Amino acid sequence: MKKRIFSKEEKLKIIKEASENGIQATLDKYGIYKASYYSWKRKYDEMGEEGFQHGMTPAHLKRIRELEKENLMLKQLLAEKELEGKLKDELIKKKYALERRKNL
């Protein structure tokens, strides 16, 4: 039997169909081993659709989410610093503009 690689969409379809029509009938229809089906189902139950990405475990997903939060915080800090710098520049320009007007 030739090894077949199923896409994420196909795996989701098979899991849904198995819950509706029965596991054994669906597995026979697609020629899938029970171990493969239950592995897919476990990944789907634990992590949702993200579980079908290659090599993703709950620990990997947790780390990715932590890094995404950290990245967002750093972006916000950078935006605040840039805004602060622009405001300081504007105040300095206004201050020197007022001093020039007084000197004239």
Max mean pLDDT range (36-45, 58-67, 78-87): 78-87
Name the DSSP letter for residue 68.
Answer: H
CA 41/CA 90 separation, integer angstroms: 59
Per-residue confidence at 1, pLDDT binned at 50, 70, 90? low
Per-residue confidence at 104, pLDDT binned at 50, 70, 90? low
**Average pLDDT for 69-82:** 97
Tell me the average pLDDT of the chain: 87
**Distances 80 to 2, 73, 74, 77, 85 between C-alpha atoms, Å:** 57, 11, 10, 5, 9
CA 52/CA 8 separation, integer angstroms: 6
